[in-house]
Amino acid sequence: MARDLRETLEEVGICTWSLEPANGRVTVSENCNQVLGVPARCLSDHDAFQAILHPEDRAARAAAVRGTLERGGRYSIEYRVRKTDGEIRWLRSQGRAERGRSPGSVRLRGIVYCIDAHRQAEARLQRLQADLIHVSRLSTMGEMASALAHEVNQPLGAIGIYAAACDYLLAESGTIRIDAARDALAAAIGQTQRAGAIIRRLRDFVTRGESDRQFESVQGLIGDACDLALIGVREQGVNTRIDPGPPGTRVFADRVQIQQVLVNLIRNACEAMRDSARRDLAIVAAVQDDGFVRISVSDTGPGISEAVAETLFLPFVTTKPAGMGVGLSVSQSIVHAHGGIFWADSTATGGATFHFILPLAED
């Protein structure tokens, strides 16, 4: 390699290396210690190089090296190394096969550079995205606060009535009507369970939680999301049709995040129908032939306004006076992170339909 090119590479923090497969010898440029955090003398051969790698990354590097030697071509991988001071550093290594010195032989040559800053930025972005998803969930719950308070108040009111009836029955002069009092108590207990279930669902929804993917039934996801999103909606005269698809349909997903998508779509649909004479909401899941399940939420509102159609999934796009405009963009990023696709179209009857597909979970 020309000297000035090598110097330039070294200046910008790129280490060059080569590997002779015949004897496993590795040659690295002088800036190796700066870039990898390990001096060149510790990297004399392939095995020594493997030894400084994070144990979880060794197999992938060995396979990339072996594959490129066998088939030719190039590779590009990322791995972690343990520096001599014990710290972990992320590196990207690119290599390619080329003709070796002896006839018919092949050797590898490439570059390696530090990507710690890039990794840190990525991790920060992921944290920010998780925060945004969480804040958006809190904001949805904030908007639903009065409907939620009403929903919890109902069983509390009922418990009060049953308790008063119980008190009355037990205090009735002379005859103790134990059976009737028991019935009233059982009914009160039923109501406490109802209130408890609402609060539990709410708590799960607002708790931050790291992204936690599990095998989830589509029916369960839709059922739980509807329980939450439809609070206070039935009173608005909305007819709801829920078809959760064939039982046993499963996805590998973060339950709370997928529920968040559904809650966003259902709340948007109900809000869109507020001034409509006809208020039909449908939540339908269908298994597709291509290994995905499609979940669609449609309404009979006015449809998506032209003003926002082009920019619908961009953050902070809203037509609502108090809207934040993050619901759809957050929903889209959740679906993308799950390997799915999210889109909107207009319903034949004039409203809007939002669809998303998720890969079916394989056992």
| Cβ 303 to ligand ADP shortest distance, Å | 6
CB neighbourhood size of 147 (10 A): 14
Given a contact cutoff of 8 angstroms between Cβ atoms, the answer to whether 14 and 111 are in contact is: yes
- C-alpha 99/C-alpha 267 separation (Å) is 63
Among 319, 341, 346, 349, binds ligand ADP (CB under 6 A): 319
| Cβ 352 to ligand ADP shortest distance, Å | 4
264-287: burial string, b at 16+ Cβ within 10 Å, e else: bbbbbbbbbbeebeebbbbbbbbe
Pairing mode of beta strands 292-298, 250-254: unpaired
| Cβ 308 to ligand ADP shortest distance, Å | 5
| Cβ 65 to ligand ADP shortest distance, Å | 47
CB neighbourhood size of 260 (10 A): 24
Instruction: Based on the shown chain and the rule CB under 6 A, indicate whether residue 100 belongs to the binding site for ligand ADP.
Output: no
CB neighbourhood size of 211 (10 A): 15
Q: Which stretch binds ligand ADP (CB under 6 A): 208-216, 238-246, 247-255, 326-334?
A: 326-334
> The dihedral of CA 153, 155, 158, 164: what is its sign?
negative
Instruction: Based on the shown chain and the rule CB under 6 A, indicate whether residue 305 belongs to the binding site for ligand ADP.
Output: yes
Q: Which is nearer to ligand ADP, 216 or 299 (CB)?
A: 299
E strand segments, the chain: 14-20, 25-28, 74-82, 88-99, 106-114, 213-217, 239-243, 250-254, 280-287, 292-298, 341-346, 352-359
- C-alpha 57/C-alpha 59 separation (Å) is 6
Instruction: Based on the shown chain and the rule CB under 6 A, indicate whether residue 299 belongs to the binding site for ligand ADP.
Output: yes
End-to-end CA distance of the chain: 52
- The phi, psi pair for 209, rounded to 5°, reads 70, 135
Number of residue whose CB is nearest ligand ADP = 327
Q: Which is nearer to ligand ADP, 245 or 323 (CB)?
A: 323
Instruction: Based on the shown chain and the rule CB under 6 A, indicate whether residue 269 belongs to the binding site for ligand ADP.
Output: yes
| Cβ 269 to ligand ADP shortest distance, Å | 4
Among 43, 64, 328, 335, binds ligand ADP (CB under 6 A): 328
Q: Which is nearer to ligand ADP, 93 or 329 (CB)?
A: 329
| Cβ 304 to ligand ADP shortest distance, Å | 5
| Cβ 280 to ligand ADP shortest distance, Å | 12
| Cβ 226 to ligand ADP shortest distance, Å | 16
Q: Which stretch binds ligand ADP (CB under 6 A): 42-50, 112-120, 266-274, 332-340?
A: 266-274
Q: Contacts from 143-146 at CB under 8 Å and sequence distance 24+?
A: 143/267, 144/231, 144/232, 144/267, 146/232
Q: Which is nearer to ligand ADP, 31 or 332 (CB)?
A: 332
Please report where in the chains the tokens 């080329």 appear, as a residue. Answer: 98
Instruction: Based on the shown chain and the rule CB under 6 A, indicate whether residue 44 belongs to the binding site for ligand ADP.
Output: no
Instruction: Based on the shown chain and the rule CB under 6 A, indicate whether residue 304 belongs to the binding site for ligand ADP.
Output: yes
| Cβ 325 to ligand ADP shortest distance, Å | 4
Q: Which is nearer to ligand ADP, 184 or 304 (CB)?
A: 304
| Closest of 25, 26, 31, 27 to residue 6, by C-alpha | 31
Q: Which is nearer to ligand ADP, 250 or 267 (CB)?
A: 267
Q: Which is nearer to ligand ADP, 199 or 341 (CB)?
A: 341
Tokens of 129: 């995205």
Q: Which is nearer to ligand ADP, 7 or 345 (CB)?
A: 345
Contacts with ligand ADP by CB under 6 A lie at 264, 268-269, 272, 299, 301, 303-305, 308, 312, 317-320, 323-328, 352
